[in-house]
Amino acid sequence: MGSNTPRTGRAARVSKPDLWYYDQLPPTARAALANAAFDWSAGAMFNHWRKGVKGYKTGKDIAERIAAADASVIKKAPTNSGRK
């Protein structure tokens, strides 16, 4: 019988490993991904960069997006203030 692995949808369209997308990005974007606080998807960044989406047109743009995303997630994280 078959497995419960989906064969349609977004996951089915991924044909390359995330590292391939990482290697295609500009050096500034690769450095930002490598040094990011969280594990962001290089594939998503690559697709936006390839399409020329505003905010993803250069490696510097992507690095700024990654830094902003890291800061946003860190800001939303619960703190231990008030605990003993």
Q: How far apart are CA 73 and CA 69, in angstroms?
A: 6
Residue in the block written with tokens 């605990």: 83
User: Mean pLDDT over residues 48-66, rounded?
Assistant: 95
Q: What pLDDT sits at residue 1?
A: 46
Confidence grade of residue 32 (pLDDT, cut at 50, 70, 90): very high
For helices 27-34 and 42-51, the axis angle rounded to 10 degrees is 160
Confidence grade of residue 9 (pLDDT, cut at 50, 70, 90): low
Please check the confidence at residue 47 and state whether its pLDDT lies above 80: yes
| Cβ 32 vs Cβ 56: under 8 Å | no
Please check the confidence at residue 3 and state whether its pLDDT lies above 60: no
Question: In 3D, which of 27, 26, 33 has the Cα closest to residue 49?
Answer: 26
Share of the chain above pLDDT 70, in %: 77
